[in-house]
Amino acid sequence: MTLNLEILSRAANEARGLCMDAVQASQSGHLGLPLGCAEMGAVLYGYALKHNPEKPRWIGRDYFVLSAGHGSMFLYAWLHMSGYDLPMEEIKRFRQLHSKTPGHPEFGETPGVEATTGPLGQGVGNAVGIAVAAKMAASRFNTDEHRIFDQHIICLAGDGCLQEGVSAEACAFAAHFGLDNLILIYDSNAVTLDAMAKATQSEDTGQRFKAYGFDVQDINGHDMQQFLDALDTAKERKSGRPQFIIAHTLIGKGVPEVEGTHKAHGEAGAKYVDAARKGLGLPDEHYFVSKDVRAYFAEHKKKLLADYDRWEKSYNDWRKRSPEQAKLYIKDGGDFTRDTPKGRNIHFGIREHGMCAILNGISYHGMFRASGATFLVFTDYCRASVRLAALSRLPNIYIFTHDSIGVGEDGPTHEPVETVSSVRLMPQIDVIRPADPEETAGAFVAALQRTDGPTFLALTRQVVPILNEIDAKLRREGVLRGGYIAKKEEGELNLIILSCGSELQHALAAAKQLGNGVRVVSMPCFERFERESEEYREEVLPKSCRRRVAIEAGVTKIWYQYVGIDGKVVGLHEFGLSAPGAQVMKERGIDAEHVIAAAKSLD
Ligand SMILES: Cc1ncc(C[n+]2csc(CCOP(=O)(O)OP(=O)(O)O)c2C)c(N)n1
pLDDT at 332 over 70: no
**Is 190 in contact with 250 (CB distance < 8 Å)?**
no
Query: Can you tell me whether residue 580 is helix, strand or coil?
Result: coil
- pLDDT value for 195: 87
User: Tens digit of pLDDT for each residue in 365-376?
Assistant: 999 999 999 999
Instruction: In whole angstroms, give the CA distance from residue 519 to residue 183.
Output: 58
User: Tens digit of pLDDT for each residue in 544-602?
Assistant: 999 999 999 999 999 999 999 999 999 999 999 999 999 999 999 999 999 999 999 99
pLDDT band for position 429 (cuts 50, 70, 90): very high
- pLDDT value for 329: 57
Closest ligand 1 atom number to CA of residue 164: 1
pLDDT band for position 229 (cuts 50, 70, 90): very high
Average pLDDT over residues 88-97: 98
pLDDT at 163 over 60: yes
Average pLDDT over residues 105-113: 98
Distance from the CA of 525 to the center of ligand 1, in angstroms? 36
Neighbour-count burial of 373, counting CB atoms closer than 10 A to its CB (0-12 exposed, 13-18 middle, 19+ buried): middle
pLDDT at 328 over 60: no
Distance from the CA of 139 to the center of ligand 1, in angstroms? 36
pLDDT at 232 over 60: yes
DSSP state of 144: S
pTM over 0.85: yes
pLDDT band for position 603 (cuts 50, 70, 90): confident
The dihedral formed by the CA atoms of 498, 504, 507 and 511, expressed in degrees to the nearest 10: 100
Closest ligand 1 atom number to CA of residue 251: 20
In order of 222, 344, 362, 479, the CA distances from 240 in angstroms are 28, 20, 20, 45
- pLDDT value for 322: 78
pLDDT band for position 193 (cuts 50, 70, 90): confident
- pLDDT value for 238: 84
Q: Ligand 1: list residues with CB < 6 Å.
A: 30, 32-33, 68, 70, 118-120, 158-161, 164, 189, 191-193, 251, 265
Element (H, E) at 458: strand 455-458
- The candidate with the shortest Cα–Cα distance to 449, out of 430, 436, 434, 435, is 430
- Considering only CA atoms, which residue is closest to atom 23 of ligand 1? 193
**Is 244 in contact with 265 (CB distance < 8 Å)?**
no
Average pLDDT over residues 309-328: 85
User: Tens digit of pLDDT for each residue in 241-297?
Assistant: 999 999 999 999 999 999 999 988 878 888 899 999 999 999 999 999 999 999 999
**Is 16 in contact with 38 (CB distance < 8 Å)?**
yes
- pLDDT value for 500: 98
- pLDDT value for 45: 98
In order of 301, 419, 451, 485, 516, the CA distances from 91 in angstroms are 20, 40, 31, 52, 66
Q: What is the DSSP string of 193-240?
A: TTEEGGGT----HHHHHHHHT-EEEEEETT-HHHHHHHHHHHHH--SS
Instruction: In whole angstroms, give the CA distance from residue 118 to residue 285.
Output: 31
Instruction: In whole angstroms, give the CA distance from residue 355 to residue 569.
Output: 35
- pLDDT value for 387: 98
pLDDT at 326 over 80: no
In testing the pocket of ligand 1, which one of 31, 37, 106, 120 has its CB within 8 Å of the most ligand atoms?
A: 120
In order of 228, 394, 545, the CA distances from 297 in angstroms are 17, 32, 67
Among candidate residues 39, 352, 415, 552, the one labeled active-site is 352
Write out 35-82 in H/E/C secondary structure: HHCHHHHHHHHHHHCCCCCCCCCCCCCCEEEECCHHHHHHHHHHHHHH
Q: Tell me the domains of the chain and their CATH numbers.
A: 5-303 (3.40.50.970), 352-458 (3.40.50.970), 483-600 (3.40.50.920)
Please say if 469 is a catalytic residue. no
pLDDT at 186 over 80: yes
Rounded mean pLDDT of the chain? 96
C-alpha atoms less than 13 angstroms from C-alpha of 479 in its C-beta half-sphere: 32
User: Tens digit of pLDDT for each residue in 41-55?
Assistant: 999 999 999 999 999
In testing the pocket of ligand 1, which one of 70, 124, 185, 248 has its CB within 8 Å of the most ligand atoms?
A: 70
